[in-house]
Structure 1
């Protein structure tokens, strides 16, 4: 044993490396290559299944959203008294019937605002004339199975595959019977789901996706020939009711893996949708198998090349060690101007790289002493920007817009134009405010937001509130940071006008003054005492956070100083029981501001 150790120590360094390489690296690489071939095949398949699982979750969420919207539309129609009044009226002429249809534009509104809906048809029992939406349910229609099922369900939602009355095309449709205020049967409602919406949801997926109704009929697949046929791939479905199922099947001459999700539509007690993705295992593995084959050849060539590389390594090893030693000597003497790297990425190259990083770290440590104040100021600015972003992102815009739109639609259905106008103005103002960033916006846009806000307040206070917006000059190209004026107007209404039972007035003026632009917000409210005004002015320039009614005014003042400089900001003047005036001073020339 001792003799063997001595022989190894006496070998050249290159021979030692070659022997260790063959024993420790070359042979294990061959075994690892075989293992990776088998392991990566399983990983590829599992990744494909995991990807389809994620995609099916997205499809399920989007499909459930679409079905829920159609269900909500049916609920609005079902609960609307206007339908009862329309179908229960007595009409002497055909023209009276057409006029009655025209006074009920709800179906047109739904088709206009919801692209999920292909069309809406109501099969009525009243013998009125038939148009594209209202169809008289004669004996032929009322004897059909789908119609009878809707009647038997007594208003319950049922999803079926139904032919559209006029085109004869088949669609997935929601059907339910509708009753009047006195529980009299009015007819059957049918809302058809747009095939284009299903295509939008499904066709971006890589693998073949099927949407099936009650395990009986395919309601969507990119292959139009399979629509509304029996899904024979469900023959291999395990006999259980799990929401998610994964099983292997031989489909159309190929071994596949099928990932299936179940979806229960909202408020539907008798229907279920199945969303299935077919993963072709053999097709999926064609490319990886080709890659693995090429990988074996690469491993073989790498082994051959590596043997030759060790010989070259032994030739350049000594020279590269000397380069590293020379660089270490320079750094030890305090000379940091060494080359960023040397050729090669082995241990010597890494050691040289670490040496270079050490020299740069020392240089950086010296520099940090001088730039510390700059970084601190930058941090303070970021804190201010974060505070502003928190003010303008309190509500989820998507949820707010949808809620306001739903309220406005209900107001339109109930023919309450005043409420609908108020909701439209509020939605416009909130959309404009919440979608803004902390970047400058046109002054005209900001004033338009203020005008909308004051219109809403005027609808609230009635004749108690009047306002004016005066602009002295053309400022269509002037940029201003958002939400500088609105907090001042809101403060004037809440703290100035609301406590005063008399008539209130707000005047907003935009006037140039030499090289400054002044934006003045004046009210004739309760005003402030001299002591209150003095305390408020002291608080404007404090750095610490404040709570209470002055937080909006202080933030306006601090943001102006932060972005425009200490020469600009907010000034406040007030007289008790006379009113308050808030003046924003900004630079008129914006050439060097942004």
Structure 2
């Protein structure tokens, strides 16, 4: 052995040393790579499984919300509320309103295909209607759920003990029942709103709710289930598992996103609550061999390539060790400069080795971009500080704006008392009207009001204008009593009346008359504001008509149309709230006056009004 050592040349010793120094790192790299790839594969599998759980839980949550809306449509329908409010257990021998209740349920729930049945019980427990056939003689008090429902506050109660496998015309599927207390929401006596009226018992198709027929939930190596709190499997991608028991110990939060044994195989377990209103869990099981399949393939490929390249690499390393060491040392020095914060790196001459030259080039680009990024982050921090200061200033201004109205009301109240002390009741009336008008206009709680409140507001405004015009202005309001409780947008009448006074009456010093008529026309509310002024010029009339047309065609701009800001504001709000169901017609004749007619639905608005707060 000593002879071999003496006879071994330096070249052979270097080659042997190189082989040993390369083989062990290659083995270590393979092991570490396998660990890292396995970890990354598990990480990506956990991410994908969580996305599946979240997506499936979101789908079920959406359907549960739809079911909740349907239940509310049934129990809060005016017809059913009226029947339950008038229900008297002492007169059950009178004509039974079963057909009315059944018809109400059918109208409100005919769009929910996954509902098996909905049954309505009166507060005393008698069954008074259902969507399909149901035992009419059995009272609510005989059911196990009665006491729980009676003590509830109106929330939907899912009866987990009712989960069962049934067979009907649609085949074999899982079903579940629930119950919800019915409370009064319509009553002329406000004190009676919220009282208990009865109970709604319903049964639904769990398979339709969970809907595991979608292909994205069925993939090789993955199983998805929905498990109840008592560990019963309600549904899943494997239909054979429905109704069976899941290992409850696996639903411990410490076992989430870990490998577990299920059906004799290793799976990655991921689960999460399906919906806050139900005690269900969405469970995703991904087979471990499926997760590590890509890692195994990558390691085997890398190992084969490493063996082939080992000899080549050893030969090249001997030839190029010295030529590589010098530029790498230079690069190391530049790294140290960057680490110390010095980005003034000198670009050296090329070494002639393409990879090393590219490495230098990319490093210089990286250093340059890093320098720019540091400056950008610094500038962003400065901007952030400015935004914080501006936000605080805006908050202070908002608080100040809350103080100013109180100061104004207190001042007006003081002036009112001074006027009363001086015996000037007319001034006192004006001050009170002005205070009420300011309070109504400054109030920002909601964008709607009733016709009655809008009429009271315009009467305050016209009273002040009549005092200002000293008898030269008459005001007439004609409102159908049946529409006094209808809703409309706040501050609709005042801008119209103000426009008539400002442009049709005041400039011409005539005895003016403002007429307001509000009537119901079928399913729409009609508002007409007219005056006996001098009328509009043709170009002004055309501009207002074009303004409404531009708003309808989504072409309206603030500077593109002539006309008052108040009229434009009303047009824009009408369109945002009611869309093409609203109309705004302006007509005018010289020396005869101007007439403005607004029509919009008497029901709830058809468009979102999110933008109105910013107008």
TM-score, normalised on structure 2? 0.44
> Which protein shows a greater Rg?
2
TM-score, normalised on structure 1? 0.45
